[in-house]
Amino acid sequence: MRYAIVVGGGTSRRFGDDKLSRKILDKDVFARSAEVFLNVADKVVTVGRRVDGAIYAPSGATRFLSVANGLSALSDAEQGVVAVHDGARPFISRKFVRRLYDCAEKYGSAVPRLPVTDTVWSDIDGKLAQTDRNALFTVQTPQVFDIARLRAAYQRAQREYPDESTLFFDVYGDVHFTDGDRSNTKITYPSDLPEYKTGVGFDVHPFERGSGVILGGVTIPYAYKLAGHSDADALCHAICDAVLSASDNKDIGHQFPDTDPAYLGADSTQLLARCVRLAAQKGYEVVNVSAVVICQQPKISPHTDQMARVLSRILDVPVSCVNISATTTEHLGALGNGDGIAVSAQALLKRS
């Protein structure tokens, strides 16, 4: 059997407020830290906070006592391995957790560690000294142990310990370390907590007499052009609205109204650049953009790579973070009849 104890009773003193209640994509940090175990472990205990599908245990005055409460919430008859995880580590993966369980079942314990890669100094009573980082490593959670041995270690403990690895080593003289995961970061300070937001944009323009269609700043040879107040670049317009909505800005019609002669024939790549700057003023930067161009004609797919290159420079992201695809409506409706082009776009932004 596999068990998990997720601890959430801290005061978040260094963070400045309740970090475990902060949202990541509309779900709080603690729930994200616990939910991975609901799909992996047989029983999950959440300490100090309730999560649907988990057993609740009250928090203790310290982390050590909180974990003890979590163990007490599981029957003494339970056999198997138990993972102890900090509720402030919401980026953990199921694959990583399963590997740690497998390792603990083989060796009796599994503690993920990471080598120190930064230069390390110590400052003890004002005396500075440099330390050899090659001899140092940090440990993460979850830390997984044979549940009977961990319970016995808690019962034998004569003092409190900062984590289970130090307790286990002190009692048994050994602990099995395994490779950690650098993406499994712990939220300690506000800067550790990324804030992501998604936005959706949609635009459609009809064809009119002319020569060449502009999409994503690329001119595609065609017998018609798109009609609009600006250059009618529907791809840029849809991405504009996606970026604006994700960054809590008003839509493109408000920013660049078609009643304003200043935008007559405007280059939509410049409008998109302005939307990116508006997002930056709200503290957001683009992570990636995905858009689909919908039309019967002209053929879009030969030009999508060039569009991605143009748009990546404007959005200030790698080309790999801009995905442009194309589809038809199989001759259904106005678009299938060749009356125009529509674009649907999504953008992911991160607070920078």
DSSP character string of 64-83:
HHHHHHHHHTS-TT--SEEE
Residue 211 tokens, joined = 């020569």
- Listed in sequence order, the DSSP H helices in the chain are 29-38, 63-72, 94-107, 147-156, 164-172, 234-246, 252-255, 268-281, 304-315, 333-336
Q: Is the pLDDT of residue 295 over 90?
A: yes
Verify that 136 and 210 share a domain, yes or no: no
pLDDT tens-digit readout, 66-75: 999 999 999 9
- Comparing CA positions, the residue from 213, 209, 201 lying closest to residue 297 is 213
Return the CATH number at 20.
3.90.550.10
User: By three-state DSSP, how is residue 237 classified?
Assistant: helix
Residue showing tokens 């994503």: 216
Last residue of a domain, one of 192, 219, 245: 192
Distance from C-alpha of 168 to C-alpha of 177, rounded to nearest angstrom:
12
- 314 touches 276 (CB < 8 A): yes
Is the peptide bond between 142 and the residue preceding it cis, with omega within 30 degrees of 0?
yes
φ, ψ at 275 (rounded to 5°): -65, -40
Q: What is the CATH number of the domain that holds 305?
A: 3.30.1330.50
Q: Does one domain contain both 202 and 181?
A: no
User: Is the separation of the CB atoms in 58 and 69 below 8 Å?
Assistant: yes
Closest C-alpha to 216, from 202, 199, 233: 233
Q: Are 136 and 255 found together in one domain?
A: no
The 10s digit of each residue's pLDDT in 107-157 is 999 999 999 999 999 999 999 999 899 999 999 999 999 999 999 999 999
Final residue belonging to a domain, choices 155, 171, 192 = 192
- At 16, the pLDDT band (50, 70, 90 cuts) reads confident
* Count: domains in the chain: 2
pLDDT score, position 18: 87
The model's confidence at residue 24, banded by pLDDT at 50, 70 and 90, is confident
